[in-house]
Structures are given as structure tokens and as C-alpha cells.
Amino acid sequence: MPQLCPVIMGVGRTKFGEHYEKEPEKLIEEAWLKASVSAGIERKDLDAAYISDYFLQITNKIGIEEGFLSELTELHIPMEKTRSFSSALLNACNAIQAGKYDLVLVGGVEKMTDRWEKIRDDLMLLEDPWSYYAGGTPEANHELMLREYIKKHNISGENLEKLNIALAQISVKNHQHATLNAHAQFQREIKLDRVLAERKRVNRSLGLLDFAPISDGASAVVLASPKVAKQHTSALVCVAGSGSATDYITFPAREDRTSFIASRIAMQNALKIVDVQPNDIQIAELYDQSTLLEMISLEDLSFSKKGEAWRDVYTSCRDYQGSYMIDGRELFVNTNGGLKADGNPLGATGGAQVFEVVKQLQGEAGNRQVKTDRELRFGCIFELEGFGTKAYVHILRRD
């Protein structure tokens, strides 16, 4: 293991869903306590903390989130706030690799369901300010991207029908996975016909069951330098490589509106650091804010060929066996149910992705544990901020 490969010592999370009865500090406290117990550390051991959220200032009038975390932990260590969990994790990894800290808490929390109408308004600003002022909904750019994709790749007739079914299969697949996830917001299966019926009801290409919900919840990770981690455990999962990139916030101004260049660059940079190829990744948590984005992510992260991900999904899901089969190899995707069924409390979402991949790599995912002939060694976390405006990729490795 590289000398300065940050090690994930512990993970914790809450159930995602509607937590009207819980304040955000109760949620992050629950996630932090679970992570600290799994890491075998106490709060006094921490050198620093990074916390992520998008909307606590709006939903709960918390002005300086770091101060509220300090109050919870009764610590005065350096603390910083980011939007996404992946951003917080990247900053923590950089600090450990620079030799500044040895033990860091990364936490994410969001409390969105209490103010649903206000949150939808703010979500529009995250997507694209021009769409916001034109009255576009948070779902509008997904619909526009799908139309561009169909046009660019000249998909029509029977193939267009298969693409539409493939997108619905993603929703069905993720709900099926979530039935085995006790933390998931939606622990129930849905049928293909129902996904298609919801689209017909609103006369759109993507319907209610193609999109992730808004959610409340929290997640936490304890990150350590190799020196400290080896004092506690020999079963190590490390953040072997990370990548990030940024694109224009205005979606229509981008040169390519059928994929996200930020996603491609982030993945390329992460793969280069780890010195692996996409087919070395065996399990991935993809940012399925919509079924379309899971499909697009398969191409952007180089798992599927350009314009072909819908075929990979369609053929894999006709007789779904728990994974996508792409060019003869297995890829397990969103085994926790993804954002679609596990839930999407924005600031905590990436932590749930890390939680899932770590548990799978350690063989501790219980009845969700994937079954494969190859020993699990590499996993991938992919998270977006906005509609492809910022992309983060973290490649986890079991050593």
C-alpha cells in the first residue's frame, strides 16, 4: 500500500428518509457514533473534521456548521464545511497525504423534507440559473439531455423502445437492491409497467419513478493515515485515488450535452493515480439522480462505450442476476439501491456511497454482499454537484 494512501477506518450512517422528529445534530451524531465505534476510536483522537451540507443554513438556520459540529463533539480542532460529501472526503484525503493530519472525521448531513417547496426552488439554482429564471424544474435538464442523446446517437424505432425500457429497468433494479438495505428510504420493489405508466401520466420521457427523492439523513467516515490505521486494524480499505473536475454551470452552453466532461476528466485522473483500468473496477456507486444519469455515467466513466450503455443495461436486465454484464465482465452498480431507492440527502449522499463500497470490499454487506468469482478489490464512488457542474471520483482499494 502506498505510504500516504488514506485509510477508511470506520463508516456509519443513518437510515435515509423523512425524519421530521429528528434535528440535524441528532442525525449527524448517530452517524458519527456508528463510525467511531466501527473505527475503534474516541472523539479526542481526532485531528480535524470536514462536514458537508447544501441547505442547513436555509432549512435549519444553522449559520456556521463547523461550530455546531464543534459543539456536538466538544472539540476545538480545525473544521471546514463543503457542499458534497465527496468534496469533504477529497479535502480530508489531501490533508492526510500532505502529512498535516493523521485522523480525520468526514461527515455529511441534510434535512430537506421539512421544507419541500423551498428546497425545490433552491435545487433549481444548483442546476442552472438560466433554467431557474425561465421557470425550469430540477428535472428539466435531464429531459433535455435524454433528447440530445437520442438525436446524437440516431436512436429510433425498436432501439428507442429498448432505450426507454432500459431506463425503466434501472429504476426497477435499484429498488430491488434497496429491499435488502435496512437504511434505504424505499425498501420495496416496483414493476417495470409502473415506471412506464408514470411517464405516460405526465406525457414525458422521464416520470416520477425515474428520479431520486429528497431525503433527510447523515453519514460519516473516519479517515486515517496508514501509520495510525495499522495500529488499529489489518483489514484496510484505502482511498487509492481521487479525481475532480468542473464544467460550466449553464448546461445549454456546454459543447457536449449528451455527457459530462467533468465526469470523464475526474475518472481519468483517478484511474491514472491508481494505475488501473475501468475494467479493474468491480463495484461502483453511481450518482443516479435520475435513471438517465446512471446510464450516462456508465459511458462517462468508461464502463460502457459511447452511445451503447442503454444496450448494456437492456441486455443485463432482461434476466437480471445482480450485476451488469459489459463486454463479458461483471459490474455491480448501486447495490444499496442508489440515490433512487436508498435516498438522496445531498450532503450525506456520498457518505452512503462510501459506506456501501467499503462494506462490500470488506465482505460485510450481509444479505447485500455481491457474489462473484473474482475477489473484490476495487470499488468506485462517483458523485456530482449540480447537473454535471462538478464531478468527484474516488477509487477504493482493499489491501
For 309-351, the pLDDT digits (tens) are 999 999 999 999 999 999 999 999 999 999 999 999 999 999 9
Q: Provide the pLDDT for residue 274.
A: 96
Amino acid at 97: Q
Give the C-alpha separation, 68 to 28, whole Å: 11
The torsion angles phi and psi of 394, rounded to 5 degrees, stand at -125, 125
Rounded CA-CA distance 201/192 in Å is 15
- Residue 192 near residue 169, CB atoms below 8 Å: yes
Phi, psi dihedral angles at 395 (to 5 degrees): -105, 120
CA distance readout (Å), 207 to 111, 203, 249, 336, 395: 24, 8, 24, 22, 32
92-111: burial string, b at 16+ Cβ within 10 Å, e else: bbebbbeeebbbbbbbbbbb
Give the closest residue to 380 by CA, choosing from 393, 368, 392. 393
Beta bridge partners of 379: 283, 396
- Global pTM value: 0.96
Helix (H) or strand (E) holding 293: helix 291-300
Kindly tell me if the per-residue pLDDT of 251 is higher than 50: yes
pLDDT tens, position by position, 94-138: 999 999 999 999 999 999 998 877 787 788 778 777 777 887 788
Q: How far is CA 284 from CA 88, 186, 333, 356, 382, in A?
A: 19, 20, 5, 9, 8
- What 8-state DSSP symbol labels residue 308? T
**Of residues 204, 219, 211, 217, the one with CA closest to residue 341:** 211
Residue 375 has pLDDT above 70, yes or no: yes
Cα separation of 82 and 146, whole Å? 30
**pLDDT tens per residue, range 163-206:** 999 999 999 999 999 999 999 999 999 999 999 999 999 999 99
57: confidence class by pLDDT, cuts 50, 70, 90: confident
CA–CA separation, 1 and 41 (whole Å): 22
Give the per-residue pLDDT at 119: 80
Judged by DSSP in three states, 395 sits in: strand
3-state SS class at 201: helix
CATH superfamily of 7-116+215-229: Thiolase/Chalcone synthase (3.40.47.10)
What pLDDT does 297 receive?
98
CA distance 356 to 165: 27
Exposure letters 134-165 (e unless 16+ CB within 10 A, then b) = eebebbbbbbbbbebbbeeeebeeeeeebbbb
Taking CA atoms, 59 is separated from 84, 118, 174, 216, 339, in Å, by 16, 9, 28, 11, 21
Q: Where are the domains of the chain?
A: 7-116+215-229
Smallest CA-to-CA distance from 205 within 155, 144, 159, 260 is with 144
The pLDDT value recorded for residue 58 is 84
Between 138 and 398, residue with greater pLDDT: 398
How many angstroms from the chain centroid is the CA of residue 341? 12
Instruction: Note the pLDDT tens digit of each residue in 212-246.
Output: 999 999 999 999 999 999 887 667 899 999 999 99
3-state secondary structure of 289: coil
Model pLDDT, residue 348:
98
- Maximal C-alpha separation, the chain: 63
Res 126: pLDDT: 80
Confidence of residue 356 (pLDDT cuts 50, 70, 90): very high
Radius of gyration (Cα) for the chain, nearest Å?
A: 20
Dihedral of alpha carbons 157, 159, 162, 164, sign: negative
Nearest Cα neighbor of 6 from 83, 98, 69 is 98
The per-residue pLDDT for 233 is 67
Residue reference for cell 412506464: 196
Confidence category of residue 68, pLDDT binned at 50, 70, 90: confident
3-state secondary structure (DSSP) of residue 149:
helix
Sorting pLDDT into bands at 50, 70 and 90, what band is 86?
Answer: very high
pLDDT at 1: 42
Q: How confident is the model at residue 11 (pLDDT cuts 50, 70, 90)?
A: very high
